[in-house]
Structure 1
Amino acid sequence: MTAPTTPSTSGQRRFRRKSERIDDLAAGRSLSAEALRRLRRDPVALTGAAIIGVFVLVSLAAPLLAPHGATETFPELQENLRPGQIPGPQPGFPLGSDQLGRDFLSRMLLAARQTLLVGVMATLIGLSIGMVIGVLAGAFGGWVDTVLMRVTDVMLAIPSLLLAISVAALAANPSQTTVIIAVAVVSVPIFARLLRGSMLAQREADHVVAATALGVKRPAVVLRHMLPNAIGPVIVQATLTLATAILDAAALSFLGLGDADPGRAEWGLMLAQAQSYLEVRPALAFFPAIAIIVVALGFTLLGESLREAIDPKGRR
Structure 2
Amino acid sequence: MTTQKTTPNLLKRKAGRIDELSESGGNSLAVDAMKRMSRSPVAITGAVITVLFVLLAILSPFLAPKNPYIPYDELRNTLRPDSIPGPMPGFLLGSDQNGYDFFSRLLVGSQQTLIVGVAATLIGVLLGMIIGGFAGAFGGWVDTLLMRFTDILLAIPSLLLAISIAALFLHGTQWTVIIAVAVVSVPVFARLLRGAMLAQRASDHVLAATALGVRRRTIVFRHMLPNSLGPVIVQATLTLATSIIDAAALSFLGLGDSDPSRAEWGLMLGKSQSFLDVKPELAFYPAIAIIVVALGFTLLGESLREALDPKNRR
TM norm structure 2: 0.90
After superposition, the C-alpha distances for 1:79-123 in whole angstroms (9 at most, x for unaligned) are: 221121111111211111101111000111111111000100000
Structure 1 runs, 4 residues or longer, greater than 3 Å off: none
Residue 151 of structure 1: aligned partner: 149
Partner of 1:241: 239
Alignment of structure 1 residues 81-100 onto 2, 5 Å: 81-100=79-98
SS at match of 1:231: helix
CA distance in 1: counterparts of 2:91 and 2:147, whole angstroms:
53
In the TM superposition, residue 280 of structure 1 has moved relative to its aligned partner by 1.1
Larger Rg: 2
Query: Which residue of structure 2 lines up, in the alignment, with residue 287 of structure 1?
Result: 285
- 1:266-305 to structure 2, matched below 5 A, reads 266-305=264-303
* SS in structure 2 of the partner of residue 61 of structure 1: helix
Cα deviation code 1:140-179 (max 9, x no counterpart): 1100000000000000000000000111111111101111
Within the candidate set 41, 47, 50, 1:49 is matched to 47
1:188, 1:100 → 2: CA distance?
A: 37
1:119 maps to which of 106, 117, 120: 117
Shift of 1:312: 4.0
Query: What is the deviation of 1:27?
Result: 4.9
State the match for 2:3 in structure 1.
none
Give 1:261 deviation, angstroms.
1.9
How far is the alpha carbon of 1:75 from its aligned partner? 1.9
Deviations 1:204-231 (A, max 9, x none): 1011111111111001001100111111
Secondary structure of 1:73 counterpart = coil
Q: Deviations over 1:13-35 (max 9, x none)?
A: xxxxxxxxxxxx98521111111
| Counterpart position of 1:66 | 64
Distance 2:95 2:259 in 1: 19
**Residues 268-295 of structure 1: CA deviation (Å, up to 9, x unaligned):** 1111111111111110000000000000
* Structure 2 residues without counterparts, runs of 5 or longer: 1-20
Taking the TM superposition and a 5 Å limit, the aligned residue runs for 1:140-219 are 140-219=138-217
Query: Structure 1 unaligned runs (5+)?
Result: 1-24
Tell me how many residue pairs correspond in the alignment: 291
In structure 2, how many angstroms separate the alpha carbons of the residues matched to 1:77 and 1:154? 50
- For 1:58, what is the secondary structure of its paired residue? helix
- 1:28 aligns with 26
- Name the stretch that deviates more: 58-67 or 299-308: 58-67
Aligned AA (2:34) = L
CA-to-aligned-CA distance 1:186-214 (integer Å, 9 cap, x gap): 00000000000000111010111111111
Q: Match for residue 20 of structure 1?
A: none
- Per-residue Cα deviation, 1:242-275 (whole angstroms, up to 9, x for no partner): 0010001000000000011222111111111111
How far residue 70 of structure 1 moved from its aligned partner, in angstroms, is 2.2
CA–CA distance in structure 1, aligned partners of residues 76 and 115 of structure 2: 31
- Partner residue of 1:255? 253
Structure 2 CA distance for aligned equivalents of residues 113 and 70 of structure 1: 12
Whole-angstrom CA distance in 2 between matches of 1:47 and 1:146: 41
Q: Secondary structure at the match of 2:66?
A: coil
Partner of 1:22: none
